[in-house]
Structure 1
Amino acid sequence: MASTDNALKTASVLAFERKLDPSDGLFHAGNWDGRDDTTAWKPVTLREKSVRGTISNRLKTKDQDPAKLDAAIENPNLQTVDVATLPADADTLRVGFTLRILGGTGRPSACNNAAYQTKLLSTVQGYVDANGFGELGRRYAHNLANARFLWRNRIGAEQVEVRIQHLEKGQPKTSWTFDALQLSLRDFQTPNGVEKDINSLADVITTGLAGKGHVLLQVTAFARIGAGQEVYPSQELILDKATSKKSKTLYDVQGIAGIHSQKLGNALRTIDTWHSEADTLGPIAVEPYGSVTTLGKACRKPTDKLDFYNLLDGWLLKDKAPPPDQQHFVMAILVRGGVFGEAGKD
């Protein structure tokens, strides 16, 4: 686009609030057959464990004294770690959290360019008029129903059930129950018999994203993993490891093991199958550059022109609308929220 004084430019201050707002997820233990007895569930707590392991990490061997190297690998690896387990008389983990669905998608919480904001709101409205939030709502609903948010706690579970309630003034307005293991983590195909409930839940989420009503969901998942088995809360990131006496520190809320709200949010927005490596990786979390930190790669590199910034700038500044799938991606980023202003020059 030609550079003129009147050319539309990206705002230097541009921020969006997230529209999927989960609480922390709290862990409780009980038995599968007692899922309906709310009084029978006890908090899962953390405890410390000291273990005597071996040195198994890769060592620098170049120019090392062989005697010192031998001594390093012969010594035991002593560690103190946090662990969380089910009691010996409980075979099921319960994870519960609430999820707010907020309206105003695409309306910035901060923007210092009125012309840019006007064009942005017009573009978002055009998308909503053409597509609504149906595709995004269906994918978010799928990730709630398949219990992706349990992360490692879902792996190897014998049975997983997800119960979701749409609360109104503290009371359940609508309820859904899903057999999570019937739903895939690799795609968003809905098996027969579940489609009606998925669509119903998606409609509620869509209503919230469109700002047509207050939407608060109570989400409760039950994973039958076996009595006394280890469960996996979030692990805390310890930046100053020198001051920490433990090799692994787990997250708890007032003594109850839990999952970070950020980790729950990451699971819910793992809906991006529109990236270039979807056939291999499946869905990834919606991120501006398609970053997958566990694999050390980015699936939406700026050089491929499929990152959020290239797509958004082309859509707003050059009036070149992306393909429909990439429009879904851009809107999902706006639902995610973040700070996206034009970088200042040094």
Structure 2
Amino acid sequence: MAKNKNSIASVLSFEKKLVPSDGYMFGTTWDKRNEFTALTLTEKSVRGTISNRLKPAVQNDPLKLNAEVEKPNLQRVDTCSLLPEQDTLKLQFTLKILGGVQKPSACNSSEFKQSYRAAVAGYIEEHGFAELAKRYATNIANARFLWRNRLGAEHIIVQVKALNENAQQSWEFDATKVPLRDFSVQDEKINSLAKRIAEVLVSEDQFLMLEVTCFAKVGKAQEVYPSEELVLDKSNSKEKKSKILYSNNGIAAMHTQKIGNALRTIDTWYADFSNPEQSAGPIAVEPYGAVTNLGKAFRTPKDKQDFYTFFDSFALGEKLARVEDEHYVMATLIRGGVFGASDKE
């Protein structure tokens, strides 16, 4: 089928196929991991120092600088820590994996739907989601979802259970032995988990429910890091908190979005990955390869490396130049989103 801008459906969306719950945080000890307590948030009022970059007029005048330093930098913040006798963080969440990537959740073009379905069928026949499933399984096994809590942890164990009736199975991983940057690791347990994930992704309507429990030995009474809430109140009131952490039903927790972002951090196919000076390591699958903390998009339309450039060809039956580009397109569809082409110039 010839490529035609009007052939892309103007109404087109896909539901995400990796659906995590919030991650709930508990405190325990490494030697008695079956005894744990829910972690709660604590509010602190602290007096900080002035540390922001100052105007040249203040920098060059010692009297003005002293006057600025004397001003109290009062802050109210949320914190979360293990109890004095606890040395281990327990993080637990569930992950539902859905099939049905062959069918858009909304599409207003029957022609496009047929073309897209044929393209996905060809991908499944050739690759079967084996590569993507291996990468998702690796990110579960290496506990990437711990984010900052992973740093400085002496031991990390990840326990995974498949909860589907009549198809229960369990795996346990030493996350410190599973690399964060490389998805070529060969491990029977990772391959077994990946096989279960791939079986669902290739299906039309199956699902897999996983329960993920992670133990990270971070040290007695150490601070741990739930998700941070976005502060929408832009006022300068001294009474407002400058840092608000997330809790659900009184339990410190991590957002579903943050866990999902970690699971889909599998994109090593962007051009700068092999350049040590430019690479950000594996990045989360996004239509433009956006990495917000770096303020950079690694997949730009100008370089013809973005999702829409690839998708508009792939979905209309054209073969992409690299198999890695097909993996990237399918991973973005598993991520989900609204991808319709505007019918306005």
User: Normalising by structure 2, what TM-score?
Assistant: 0.92
Aligned residue in 1 for 2:304: 305
Q: Deviations over 1:153-179 (max 9, x none)?
A: 00100000000001123x881110000
| Structure 2 counterpart SS, 1:32 | coil
Partner of 1:178: 173
Whether 1:122 and 2:121 are equivalent positions in the alignment is: no
CA distance in 1, matches of 2:256, 2:21: 5
2:10 corresponds to: 12
1:52 corresponds to = 47
DSSP-derived class of the 1:215 partner: strand
- The partner residue of 1:249 within 244, 268, 280 is 244
1:150 counterpart SS class: helix
Question: Following the alignment from structure 1 to structure 2, what is the Cα–Cα distance between the partners of residues 344 and 76?
Answer: 56
| Equivalent position of 1:166 in the other structure | 162
TM-score, L = length of structure 1: 0.92
Residue number in structure 1 paired with 2:134: 138
Task: Write out per-residue CA displacement over residues 245-288 of structure 1, whole angstroms, 9 at most, x where no aligned residue.
Answer: 10100000011000000000000000000001113322100000
Cα 1:337/1:62, change in 2 over 3 Å: farther
- After superposition, where does 1:1-346 map in structure 2 within 5 Å? 9-35=7-33, 37=34, 40-61=35-56, 70-169=66-165, 173-190=168-185, 195-211=187-203, 213-242=206-235, 245-279=240-274, 280-317=279-316, 319-345=318-344
Following superposition, the deviation at residue 208 of structure 1 comes to 1.7
Determine the C-alpha separation between the residues in 2 that align with 1:43 and 1:143: 25
Matching residue's letter, 2:111: A
Distance 1:13 1:86 in 2: 48
CA distance in 2, matches of 1:312, 1:321: 9
Aligned counterparts of 1:168 and 1:68: Cα–Cα separation in 2: 67
Number of residue pairs the alignment of both structures matches? 337
Structure 1 residues 245 and 172 mapped into 2: Cα distance closer, same or farther (>3 Å)? farther
Q: Specify whether residues 64 and 344 from structure 1 end up closer, same or farther in structure 2 by C-alpha distance, changes over 3 A only.
A: farther
Return closer, same or farther for 1:177/1:13 CA change in 2, 3 Å cut-off.
same
Deviations 1:136-164 (A, max 9, x none): 00000000000000000001000000000
Q: Contact 1:272 / 1:329 at 8 angstroms: preserved in 2?
A: yes
Query: Do the aligned residues in 2 keep the contact of 1:29 with 1:43 (CA within 8 Å)?
Result: yes
Query: Which residue identity is paired with 2:103?
Result: R
Stretches of structure 2 that go unaligned for 5 or more consecutive residues are none
Q: Contact 1:146 / 1:184 at 8 angstroms: preserved in 2?
A: yes
How far 1:190 sits from its partner (Å)? 1.5
> For the structure 1 residues 164 and 3, does the alpha-carbon distance in structure 2 shift closer, same or farther, using more than 3 Å as the test?
closer
Distance across 1 between alignment mates of 2:68 and 2:308: 48
Separation (CA, whole Å) in 1 of partners of 2:2 and 2:188: 50
TM-align CA RMSD = 2.2
Q: 3-state SS of the aligned residue for 1:85?
A: coil
Could you tell me how far 1:345 is from its partner in structure 2?
3.0
Q: Is the 8 A contact 1:98 1:217 kept in 2?
A: yes
% same residue: 53
Farther-moved stretch of structure 1 (222-231 vs 112-121)? 112-121
Q: Deviation of residue 64 (structure 1)?
A: 9.7
> Given residue 120 of structure 1, which amino acid in structure 2 is its aligned partner?
Y
**Change in 2 beyond 3 A, CA 1:2/1:167:** closer
Preserved contact between residue 58 and residue 64 of structure 2 (Cα < 8 Å): no
Off by >6 Å, runs of 4+ in structure 1: 1-4, 62-65
Shift of 1:70: 4.8
Distance 1:278 1:179 in 2: 26
Task: Give, as a single letter, the amino acid of the residue that structure 2 aligns with 1:105.
Answer: V
Amino acid across the alignment from 1:72: E
**1:281-320 per-position Cα deviation (integer Å, ceiling 9, x unaligned):** 2210000010111111111011111100001112234724
Cα displacement (A) at 1:62: 6.2
Q: Which amino acid aligns with 1:229?
A: Q
CA distance in 2: counterparts of 1:72 and 1:345, whole angstroms: 54
* In 1: Cα distance, 2:316 partner to 2:99 partner: 25
User: In the aligned structure 1, how far is the partner of 2:198 from the partner of 2:3?
Assistant: 39
How far is 1:2 from its partner? Answer: 7.9
State the Cα distance separating 1:118 from its structure 2 match: 1.2
